[in-house]
């Protein structure tokens, strides 16, 4: 079935006149959320994020309507001002226990003091698997949560990691529409969450403990490589020397890696969330990155490529979801998987069989 929202005349294939200018068929509930977000109302922002997280069909339609209203307004604004974006999306990852929440609390307060409005979102793979969450507990950032210009949102505790990622992408759009010009997306450096977060933000920051090389047990392979900035935390008291050594080690490790963009070489910086040292410098470095990326046009390109990437991710996961939600095909896949694992059937033959059955099934369903 075609997505119901898309049948309502806003999208006309093949002419593609994406006209959002007449909103008279948008339900009052959605218009109210939209107006609330524009008014920077915290309650409406929270309700809107809950809406995009919902898996109910009618909620999905409503959240698409809401997002379209927002993107349309942004697009109009860009056409007027020529300024495609004035928001900054920062990913922050690091092993559990490294001190991310204390850092975000202090760092967020510093950014607020500079006149920005901050949103903190969390992507937590543990919440997907267990329903419990390492991150996203509001009480971890008691001071920041209380500020008018800050919005702290815990990680959604249901759905697949892909679903959580989609929700986070859309929650960012909502937060930005509500005037939060700096979005921090926090994740623990395990599983695939950090790669996913790196692919939805402008800058990816890795926080590490004051220990180097093989001592860092909680650190995932490849995470150093995708980092634009490495922050060595707890650089105070008895850890001061260790932090200095860690900084040297990471700096030399970065030598082996090619920078992700020719406009920026990844940096290493020491901070202490406890004594507040290094916070100002960290924010300055991040702003340097943002300004370079924006003025060079890299930021525009990066966001566009990220959106395209996510579109393909979502097409793929949606297709596989539909395949897996068919019980008969799921049984088939399970049995073929075992055959393939045992080497009794090639991967290619099994794949052909699954896809053929899926396509076949979905074309005969209609004729019955």
Could you say which residues in the range 6-35 bind a second copy, by CB under 8 A? Answer: 6, 11, 13-14, 16, 18
Nearest CA-CA partner of 282 in 211, 344, 206, 352:
206
Q: Does 55 bind a second copy (CB under 8 A)?
A: no
Site string for a second copy, 262-301 (x = CB under 8 A): ----------------------------------------
Say what the alpha-carbon torsion angle 86, 91, 97, 103 is, to the nearest 10 degrees.
-20
Q: Is 74 exposed, middle or buried (0-12, 13-18, 19+ CB in 10 A)?
A: middle
CB of 352 to a second copy, least distance (A): 5
Could you say which residues in the range 347-366 bind a second copy, by CB under 8 A? Answer: 347-360, 362-366
Among the listed ranges 101-109, 115-123, 178-186, 341-349, the one in contact with a second copy (CB under 8 A) is 341-349
Q: Does 57 bind a second copy (CB under 8 A)?
A: no
Q: Which residues pair with 152 in a beta bridge?
A: 120
Using CB under 8 A, pick the residue from 22, 214, 238, 327 that binds a second copy. Answer: 214
| Residue entry with tokens 């960012």 | 172
CB of 52 to a second copy, least distance (A): 9
Phi-psi region at 93: left, alpha or beta (left = phi > 0; alpha = psi -120 to 50): beta
Q: Does 62 bind a second copy (CB under 8 A)?
A: no
H or E stretch at 366: helix 347-367
CB of 75 to a second copy, least distance (A): 5
Query: Among residues 35 and 308, whose Cβ is nearest to a second copy?
Result: 308
Using CB under 8 A, pick the residue from 50, 74, 276, 296 that binds a second copy. Answer: 74
In angstroms, the CA 301 to CA 296 distance is 10
Query: Are the C-beta atoms of 107 and 283 separated by less than 8 Å?
Result: yes
Q: Does 303 bind a second copy (CB under 8 A)?
A: yes
């Amino acid at each position: 079935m075609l997505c119901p929202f898309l049948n309502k005349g806003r999208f006309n294939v093949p002419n593609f006149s994406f006209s959002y200018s007449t909103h008279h068929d948008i339900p009052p509930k959605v218009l109210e959320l939209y107006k609330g977000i524009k008014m920077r109302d915290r309650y409406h922002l929270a309700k809107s994020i809950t809406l995009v997280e919902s898996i109910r069909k009618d909620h999905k339609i409503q959240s698409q309507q809401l997002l379209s209203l927002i993107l349309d307004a942004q697009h109009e604004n860009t056409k007027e001002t020529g300024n495609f974006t004035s928001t900054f999306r920062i990913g922050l990852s690091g092993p559990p226990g490294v001190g991310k929440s204390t850092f975000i609390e202090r760092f967020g307060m510093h950014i607020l003091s500079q006149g920005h409005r901050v949103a903190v979102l969390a992507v937590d793979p543990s919440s997907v698997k267990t329903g419990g969450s390492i991150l996203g507990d509001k009480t971890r950032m008691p001071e920041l949560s209380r500020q008018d210009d800050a919005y702290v949102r815990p990680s959604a505790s249901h759905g697949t990691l892909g679903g959580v990622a989609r929700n986070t992408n859309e929650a960012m759009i909502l937060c930005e529409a509500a005037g939060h010009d700096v979005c921090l997306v926090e994740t623990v450096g395990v599983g695939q969450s950090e790669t996913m977060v790196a692919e939805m933000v402008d800058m990816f920051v890795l926080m590490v403990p004051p220990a180097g090389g093989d001592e860092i047990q909680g650190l995932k392979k490849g995470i150093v490589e995708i980092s634009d900035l490495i922050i060595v935390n707890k650089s105070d008291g008895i850890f001061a020397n260790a932090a200095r050594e860690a900084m040297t080690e990471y700096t030399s490790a970065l030598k082996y890696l090619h920078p992700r963009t020719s406009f920026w070489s990844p940096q290493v910086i020491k901070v202490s969330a406890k004594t507040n040292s290094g916070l100002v410098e960290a924010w300055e470095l991040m702003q340097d990155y943002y300004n370079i990326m924006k003025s060079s046009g890299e930021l525009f390109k990066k966001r566009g490529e990220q959106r395209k990437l996510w579109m393909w991710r979502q097409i793929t996961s949606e297709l596989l979801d539909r395949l897996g939600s068919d019980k008969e095909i799921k049984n088939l896949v399970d049995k073929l998987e075992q055959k393939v694992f045992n080497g009794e059937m090639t991967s290619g033959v099994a794949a052909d069989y699954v896809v053929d059955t899926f396509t076949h099934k979905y074309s005969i369903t209609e004729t019955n």
